[in-house]
Amino acid sequence: MDAIVQGFPIFLLIFCRITSFFVVAPLFSMKSVPNSFKIGLGFFISFIVYLTYGVKQTVDIDAEYILFVLREVLVGLLIGYLVYLFFTVVQTAGAFMDLQIGFAMANIVDPMTGVSSPLLGNFKYMLMIMMFLLMNGHHYLLTGLMDSYQWIPIDNDLFARLMDGSITNYLSLALGHTFLLAMQVAAPLVVSMFLTDAGLGFLAKTAPQYNVFVIGIPLKMIIGLIVLVLLMPGMAGLFDKLFAILFNNLEQLFGIIKSPPGQ
The ranges assigned to domains in the chain are: 2-258
> Three-state DSSP class for 108?
strand
* pTM across the whole model: 0.81
At 262 the pLDDT is 45
What value does the mean pLDDT take over residues 49-72? Answer: 83
Asked whether the CA dihedral 94, 96, 98, 101 is positive or negative, the reply is negative
Which of 260, 263, 255 is CA-nearest to residue 82?
A: 255
**Residue 157 pLDDT more than 60?**
yes
At 61 the pLDDT is 77
What value does the mean pLDDT take over residues 240-252? Answer: 86
**Residue 196 pLDDT more than 60?**
yes
What value does the mean pLDDT take over residues 27-54? Answer: 85
**Whole-angstrom Cα distance, residue 28 to residue 181?**
24
At 111 the pLDDT is 55
Which of 113, 117, 74 is CA-nearest to residue 97?
A: 117
Which letter does DSSP use for residue 115 in this model? S
**Mean pLDDT lowest for which of 18-32, 118-132, 156-170?**
118-132
Max mean pLDDT among 62-66, 74-78, 122-126, 152-156 falls in 74-78
Cβ-contact 115, 109 below 8 angstroms: yes
List the alpha helices (DSSP H) in 152-165: 158-164
Share of the chain above pLDDT 90, in %: 2
Half-sphere exposure of 219 (CA within 13 A, CB side): 16
**Residue 161 pLDDT more than 70?**
yes
pLDDT confidence band for 115 (50 / 70 / 90): low
Of all helices (H) and strands (E), which one includes residue 75? helix 64-101
What value does the mean pLDDT take over residues 45-54? Answer: 86
At 261 the pLDDT is 46
At 104 the pLDDT is 62
